[in-house]
Structure 1
Amino acid sequence: MDMFFAYLMLASATPLFLWLENKKVALSSIPPIILMWIFFGFYMTSSLSPTGHTLMIALFAINVIVAHVAIFILYGLPLIKKYRRH
């Protein structure tokens, strides 16, 4: 759970870093972050069912995927386009 909380803190700052470069990606990462905070609150109050745990892990996975796609869009594609021009 410590790793989940550490990632939650990092993920919460991600839209701030992405805002200047790609607003659509930044805005698309906000709903999963909000849902992860909600599920984390349920987890901390011990009112999370096994289905809730599954959803929390699924949201974590979705957020990790969105973050990796954002990194590829922002940094990988420009690099690929740069090397294809030469």
Structure 2
Amino acid sequence: MDMFFAYLCIATATPLFLWLENRKIALASIPPIMIMWIFFGLYMTSSLSPAGHTFMIAFFAINVILAHIAAFLIYGLPFIRKRFSSR
């Protein structure tokens, strides 16, 4: 759970960092962040069913994967294009 909370804190600040590079991705990341905060609140109040725990973990994993894809599209792909186009 510590890892989930640490990621939640980092993910909450992510739209601020992405705002200048890509506003669409920054805005699209806000609803999943809100859902993760809701799940965290439900987890802390012990009102989450076993199916809810499974969904929370699955949603966390999907969000991490999507965050890495977004980071690659915003930062990695332009770097690769720039590097190979200069040859």
**Do the two structures share a fold, i.e. TM-score over 0.5?**
yes
Structure 1 stretches of at least 4 aligned residues deviating more than 3 Å after TM superposition: none
Structure 2 residue aligned with 1:3 = 3
Number of residue pairs aligned between Structure 1 and Structure 2: 86
Structure 2 residue aligned with 1:74 = 74
Structure 1 gap segments, 5+ residues each? none
Q: Percent identity?
A: 73
Structure 2 residue aligned with 1:37 = 37
The 8 Å contact of residues 29 and 66 in structure 1, kept in 2 or not, is answered as no
The 8 Å contact of residues 32 and 62 in structure 1, kept in 2 or not, is answered as no
How much has 1:57 moved relative to structure 2?
0.7
Structure 2 gap segments, 5+ residues each? none
Letter in 2 for 1:42: L
- Equivalents in 2 of 1:76, 1:48: separation in Å? 38
Normalising by structure 1, report the TM-score: 0.94
Output the aligned Cα RMSD: 0.9
1:13-28 alignment, distance < 5 Å: 13-28=13-28
Say which structure, 1 or 2, has more relative contact order (CA 8 Å, 6+ apart): 1
How much has 1:70 moved relative to structure 2?
1.4
The 8 Å contact of residues 16 and 26 in structure 1, kept in 2 or not, is answered as yes
Normalising by structure 2, report the TM-score: 0.93
